Amino acid sequence: MLCCVWPGGSALGASNDDQPYSERAPIPLHDARDTFRGLVDNSPFGIYTVDADFRLAHVSQGAQKVFENVRPLIGRDLAEALRIIWPEPFATEAIGRFRDTLETGLPYHAPSTVEQRADVETVEAYDWKIERITMPDGRYGVVCNFYDLSERQRHTEHIQLLMHEMNHRAKNLLSVVQTLARQTAASGSADFVERFERRIRSLSASQDVLVRNAWAKVPLEDLIRSQLAHHKELLNRRIFIRGPVIQLTATAAQTIGMVIHELATNAAKYGALSNDTGVVSIEWELSRSDGQEPRLELSWTESGGPPVVKPSRKGFGSEVIGRMVKMSLRCEPKLEYAQDGFRWRMSCPSAAIIETDSSLN
């Protein structure tokens, strides 16, 4: 609530300070007006007053931003000012509230107001109340105190968006887990629990990388290394990773993470990592043909392992490195069961899997 010294109160000046209150001289009218104006105009809070003629009388520093498109501020008819700032029917409703308080003296505390501004393309939120006061000229006026809730409103909307996104991603993740369970069980393997747990740990490792990178711009090398954590003693000795800095989208990171896990599992059981001499090379590059969209070329090449035998049946691992890649990343993976070592390669349009600010190296 505004506080000020009215005519008839204590006078300003050092000579009055030592006198009893009852003996002090009245403050001159112009001093009282200056005091009132100073209290309102210099306030960092949202305050403005309306005089008996329904004109803007004072606008605090804290309220200037709301009225920045109303020129001139002081002396402008409040109804005109509000119709510049706010759309109908809110403007007419607010004008009516001010007139009612000015005429009847009944205060009004509005519920939190969220409205699209009429003068700028923004939605703003306010908590505001109005009360009748006596202005320095002795007539009635109205003071409006308001608090800008716009930042809090945007924060709330952002939290709601994040919750919606988290719910969406959780459902997607549960769907992936369900598919993992079904496909692992469909293989009829006696070690279902062990294989399923390994795939869940692989998915968890990808999630850790995604979370560290806020579900955006996931470094391809970090993702690959996370999937090879259980082979870390072989890195740079029998497992070699080479490629430029590439930032993946969250969706691509989940799929490629599962691919690397399945390839590493197969190599450890049957391929180059199943003996003491085999080598795995993981390489990628961005390629561009004239007039064509850039493509990510990613390969997994094994050598030095046991002789390669093409499997007689396809399990879930084959589904991941084959059909899942094709469906999720819009590319055709190639599998080669060469005698000297298994090879897997994919070539995908970069726009489908790489964050847009990634560049060719």
pLDDT, one tens digit per residue, over 345-360 is 999 988 878 876 544 4
Find the angle CA(103)-CA(118)-CA(51) to the nearest 5 degrees: 25
Q: Answer yes or no: is pLDDT of 22 > 70.
A: no
Q: Answer yes or no: is pLDDT of 105 > 80.
A: yes
The CATH class for the domain spanning 14-148 reads alpha beta
Coarse DSSP helix, strand, coil percentages of the chain, rounded to the nearest 5 percent:
45, 25, 35
Q: What is the three-class DSSP state of 284?
A: strand
With respect to CATH, is domain 193-353 assigned 3.30.565.10? yes
If you ran DSSP here, which 8-state letter would residue 324 be given? I
With beta carbons less than 8 A apart as the criterion, state whether 343 and 354 touch: no
Q: How far apart are CA 250 and CA 170, in angstroms?
A: 13
pLDDT of residue 257: 87
* Cβ neighbours of residue 359 closer than 8 Å, sequence gap 6 or more: none
Starting at the edge strand found earlier in the chain, the sheet holding 334-338 runs: 239-242, 279-287, 295-303, 341-349, 334-338
Closest of 326, 196, 359, 340 to residue 271, by C-alpha: 340
Q: How far apart are CA 81 and CA 154, in angstroms?
A: 25
* Cβ neighbours of residue 246 closer than 8 Å, sequence gap 6 or more: 219, 220, 221, 284, 286, 296, 354, 358
pLDDT, one tens digit per residue, over 37-89 is 555 665 657 899 999 999 999 888 888 888 888 878 889 999 999 999 999 99
Q: How far apart are CA 325 and CA 337, in angstroms?
A: 18
Q: What is the three-class DSSP state of 217?
A: coil
Are 14-148 and 193-353 the same fold in CATH? Answer: no
pLDDT, one tens digit per residue, over 155-196 is 666 566 556 555 555 555 555 566 656 656 666 666 666 766
Q: What DSSP string describes 280-316?
A: EEEEEEEE--TTS--EEEEEEEEESSSPP---SS--H
- Work out the pLDDT band at 4, boundaries 50, 70, 90: very low
- Work out the pLDDT band at 112, boundaries 50, 70, 90: confident
Give burial (CB, 10 Å; 0-12/13-18/19+) of 202. buried
Residue 361 or residue 325, greater confidence? 325
H or E segment at 115?
strand 113-116
Closest of 177, 108, 175, 180 to residue 145, by C-alpha: 108
Residue 25 or residue 85, greater confidence? 85
Which residues are bridge partners to 247 per DSSP?
219
> What single-letter amino acid sits at 132?
R
pLDDT of residue 322: 85
pLDDT of residue 83: 94
- State the average pLDDT for the chain: 79
Residue-range domain boundaries for the chain: 14-148, 193-353
CA atoms within 13 A on the CB side of 158: 6
Q: Answer yes or no: is pLDDT of 308 > 50.
A: yes
Q: How far apart are CA 194 and CA 265, in angstroms?
A: 12
Q: Answer yes or no: is pLDDT of 27 > 80.
A: no
Scan for tokens 């706010």, then name that residue: 86
